[in-house]
Structure 1
Amino acid sequence: MIRSVGLSRTGHVDSAAPRHAGPEDARAVADLLIRSRRAAVGAIPAAVHPDSEVREWTRTVLIAEQEVWLMEDAGSRPLAVLALRDDWVDQLYVDPAFTGRGLGSHLIEFAKSHRPAGLQLWTFATNTGAQRFYLRHGFTVAETTDGTRNEENAPDIRFVWTAPR
């Protein structure tokens, strides 16, 4: 069953259930990733791949090989996406028009419930908003790098979350 995001009068999530994304969602997921990355330039480096490559990667790798979850509006338009690969949060993006409404928080709590042994993820060192978000959700800094191991060559931070005992 597909459930849409219920937003309160203040615009925050008051009811929602992520749904698993399938091959038919690849184009919408890619568009959300592209839109979100573009809106975040400044906080994160610009994408290094053209849109066509992002769409192909989303279809052949992300959707095909990872566990991808969507939060949608009543019209089935994706508002936020979460991709899990083992204990990694590989992607977490919210549509720029819907940030600050609890969608990311809902998805990260969903990820914790599906990976109770722990999670890890990377974020760019310049993305201070994401850093505050993950710290607020109980993640801690595990490692910082100079960026030589990522495509953007931008310094990044690995965060980890371990469930409280």
Structure 2
Amino acid sequence: MTTIRLSRPDDGDRVVAIWRAAVDATHDFLTPDDRLAIDAMVCGFLPQATLWLAVDAQDRPLAFMLIDDGHMEALFVDPVYRGQGLGATLVRHGLTLHPRMTTDVNEQNAQAVGFYERMGFVRTGRSPLDGQGRPYPLIHLAYAP
């Protein structure tokens, strides 16, 4: 059984491990140098961030979501548990808190774009660069019930 809860300080190492495994499984478009630079940035803030976690019966995080002012900044699922509905469960939880939630997704991550569209998000725009100015285009999405 999966439960949704807020992160605690002792979840930091696990959420970084989830992020790394998920990125390695889904972001093969990143250059090795960009992957390392993003990793360093993520390790600097993710362990202290307020996250929504999907945890198993032993309270072990399996996936996480970061929402800032109604914008989903991150959604990552441990690849071992992909396809089990954890991402959808977290998104639905986020939508109960922010019914007009928005998010951005890397254009090169076609599986993620499809996931959000199946969840009811629609494209609202595109940026040629990611948030750090790297050449990874973003698709802007908003939930449209």
Please give the TM-score of this superposition, normalised by the length of structure 2: 0.87
Offset from partner CA, 1:110-165 (integer Å, 9 cap, x none): 1100112x111111111111111111111000011211653432111000114x4x
- Is 1:97 aligned to 2:83, yes or no? no
Does residue 86 (structure 1) correspond to residue 75 (structure 2)? The answer is no
Unaligned runs of 5+ in 1: 1-5, 7-15
| Paired AA for residue 40 in structure 1 | T
Identical aligned residues as a percent: 25
Q: Check conservation: 1:48, 1:152, Cα contact below 8 A.
A: no
Equivalences for 1:5-154 in 2 at 5 Å? 6=1, 16-42=2-28, 44-45=29-30, 47-49=35-37, 51-60=39-48, 63=49, 67-116=50-99, 118-147=100-129, 149-154=131-136
Return 5+ residue gaps in structure 2 as ranges: none
What TM-score results when the alignment is normalised by the length of structure 1? 0.77
**Distance (whole Å) between structure 1 residues aligned to residue 111 and residue 101 of structure 2:** 19
8 Å CA contact 2:3–2:54 kept in 1: the answer is yes
Q: For this pair of structures, how many residues does the alignment match?
A: 142
Aligned-residue offset at 1:75: 2.9
Structure exhibiting the larger radius of gyration computed from Cα positions: 1
> What code does the residue aligned with 2:23 have?
R
Query: What's the C-alpha RMSD, in Å, of the aligned pairs?
Result: 1.9
Partner residue in 2 for 1:9: none
